[in-house]
Amino acid sequence: MNLVESLGAHRLLAIVRGKDPAAALSTVRTLVEEGISAVEVSLTTADALTVITRARAELGPDALLGAGTVRSAADAARAVDAGASFLVTPALVEGLEPYGVPVLMGALTPTEIEAALARGADAIKLFPGSLGGPGYLRALRDPFPDVPFVPVGGVDAQAARDYLDRGALAVGVGSPLVGDAADGGDLEQLRVRAAEFLKTAAGGRP
């Protein structure tokens, strides 16, 4: 199953960023153990490339493990070399096609969405999603009915359900899901939050 198919099936992308590489790795491991199939490690995470490399070694070649906050082709090269199987950008980024992995490219306006698609984006990271909210996504569905959108930014469990109800392919969730786990926080509470978001993604109300 490819990235877009997986996001469409599971409807949730976990975003890990933190100050403690060991805790970030444990967070990735815990999220996967709890059933979250797609995990992004932000390149702003301390020693992010090592986290990706070690997570890839643990999870195997088929795991949907990506790199986020990719801002250049050089970032993409390092991330793919470390083991990232998809890339997530915060904005429009040139030159990612040669790396041969799916790209969720950041865009907000209709013009940016068209530009991202022209750059080969497999899906649009609607960012920051909190700026327009679920209503803005609903407005975008009319001119872009076939574009897969993944809203990111300020997505709590209730917002996740609202986005999914309004046509999002999936939602990308960072701190409302991960909390302080990637900084060394409580992994048991992370498991609780993961279960809540998985229920929401599957159609249950938070």
Catalytic residues: 40, 125
Instruction: Name the residue among 83, 89, 104 with its Cα closest to residue 170.
Output: 104
Instruction: Name the residue among 154, 156, 148, 149 with its Cα closest to residue 129.
Output: 154
- Chain-centroid distance, C-alpha 153: 10
Which position has the token pair 């993409």? 76
Instruction: Name the residue among 101, 75, 105, 102 with its Cα closest to residue 89.
Output: 105
Can you tell me the distance from the alpha carbon of 167 to that of 34, in angstroms, rounded to the nearest whole number?
A: 25
Do 143 and 109 meet the contact criterion of CB atoms below 8 Å apart?
no
Do 10 and 173 meet the contact criterion of CB atoms below 8 Å apart?
no
SS3 of 192, please?
helix
* Non-local CB neighbours of 178 within 8 Å, separated by 6+ positions: 14, 15, 16, 17, 18, 27, 31, 190, 193
